[in-house]
Amino acid sequence: MVVCLAAFLGSGFALATDLSPAGVWKTIDDKTGTPKGLVRIFERGGEFFGKIEASLSDHKRERCDLCTDERKDKPLIGMEILRHMKRSGSEFTSGDILDPDNGSVYRCKMKLADQGKKLQVRGYIGFSLLGRTQTWTREN
């Protein structure tokens, strides 16, 4: 019985660490709590990236006029806002995330929760303590 319990617990841990953030995620507006958009996260070369797939809000901005890098004045739909995220144990780190509402780019870390149904995305400056976390929900 102990062996069966150990095998069951071990398989659950393996499943948790094998989960991927790849898929479509619904983002939530921090201020209103309403759905804001859909972001597709995909893997390329062992790193994870995310593109805006759709807007779910009444926000009518079509281009990233506030961006200061190569994304300046590019269309928001199809824009890569999450870049170079690498698996580090149960988290995904070492990448960055763009906030298209203000054009700022932040360091980023992500962690899957609720058996892969939720993704905690934390954007920060310098140290992880100086930032904010959004919880995205899996759409597929």
List Cα–Cα distances, 135 to 33, 114, 117, in angstroms. 11, 11, 10
pLDDT, residue 17, reads 52
CATH number, residue 69: 2.40.128.520
| Through-space distance between the first and last CA atoms of the chain, rounded to whole angstroms | 36
Residue 11 lies in a domain: no
Residue 9 lies in a domain: no
> What are the 10-residue block averages of pLDDT along the chain, 140 residues in total?
38 56 94 92 98 88 94 97 97 97 96 97 89 93
CA distance 63 to 136: 23
pTM of the predicted model as reported, rounded to 2 decimal places? 0.85
Structurally, the chain folds into a number of domains equal to 1
Residue 28 lies in a domain: yes
